[in-house]
Each structure stands twice: as C-alpha cells, then as structure tokens.
Structure 1
C-alpha cells in the first residue's frame, strides 16, 4: 500500500495484483482406431500446426498415449475440445480430446 495526499487529506492506495486466469492444455489421447493421418489433419486444422509439428505430436500420442496440442484460456480450450470431438465423431472416429489445467 502506498500513501498519497490530496487537498490536505491523506489517502491510502491499495495495490491489487490480479491473478492471471488459469490456462488449460488441450490433449489428444491415443486409441487403436483413429488413423494417424486424421490426427495430423486435426492438429493442422484446429491447432494451426505445420505438417512437421503435427506429425511430431501425432507420434507422441501414438507412442506415449497422449500429446499436448496447445495451451489456452479455459473458454478457448473448451471450444477446441468440442470442435475436435465433433469433427472426429462426424468422420466416425473415436478420437478423445480433453483439457487439463496447467
């Protein structure tokens, strides 16, 4: 807190530090049915990854069971999860996409 004088009156200032909102990582989960190429396309279309980065994330999902697509504010992460799930379902794939607080 600081102090300040205005017209002979002593004023106290409170310094409030706003905590930034939590961020969420969007994660793709491995399954044995969704084609690798479809995962690469999802990463390019919804997360704006170039072909090389999308392929690296897809391989991480394949080998490690999951891979992070990006980190976003809650609303954006939630929207991306819903878009990916909707796209996968509309193409008959069981791809799972979740968000986790960072």
Structure 2
C-alpha cells in the first residue's frame, strides 16, 4: 500500500502475507525418501512399495535397487500432509523414511 506519506504495511497486510506464505508452503510438493537399512530384505522393501504406493512390480524393483545401491530413493512426491502420512506409513512398515522439499 502506498500513501502520500510513503509506503507502509498495516498489520492486516502482514498477517495476509504470512497466511499466503503458509498456504504456498502447504501446496509445495514434498518427497518421501526411503533410506537403506541393514535389516529389511530387498524383496520386502519392493513389496512395501507395491502394496502401499501401488507401484508396478518393475517400478518397485527399480526403487528398491536405488535404495540398496544409492542409499536412498524418492518413492513418492505430493502435498506435505500426504507426504507426512506416507513417511509415517513407511515407519509402520519398518522402513526408514524422511520428508524433504521437492
């Protein structure tokens, strides 16, 4: 907003700005990253990717190999709340998973 006395922001302007930033952050995509671990069998990890995310057998196998060889793989991308649910689900399956901005 500008006025004859210069440019000033009202409290309402800054509150709206904060709300808008929060809404944009919530819409920003997030990656679900699954990390390699010494515990789970590769066949189990691929099965989780197929069962939970609905990946094809080929895609699940490719992601599992990426986890195994590279130490991590992005297995899904989506809104923050969904990605947080996916990370929790991976933990419930016994897999190590984290969230990162896409």
Inter-partner Cα distance in structure 2 for 1:67 and 1:97: 9
Count of residue pairs brought into register by the alignment: 80
- TM-score relative to the length of structure 1: 0.72
RMSD in angstroms over aligned alpha carbons?
1.8
Which of the two has greater strand per residue?
Answer: 1
Moved over 2 A (4+): none
Number of the residue aligned with 1:59: 65
For the pair shown, the structure with the greater C-alpha radius of gyration is 1
Structure 2 residue ranges without an equivalent (≥5): 1-22
1:85 and 2:91 equivalent?
yes
- TM-score relative to the length of structure 2: 0.72
SS across alignment from 2:78: strand
Which of the two has greater helix per residue?
Answer: 2
Superposed counterparts of 1:6-17, under 5 Å:
none
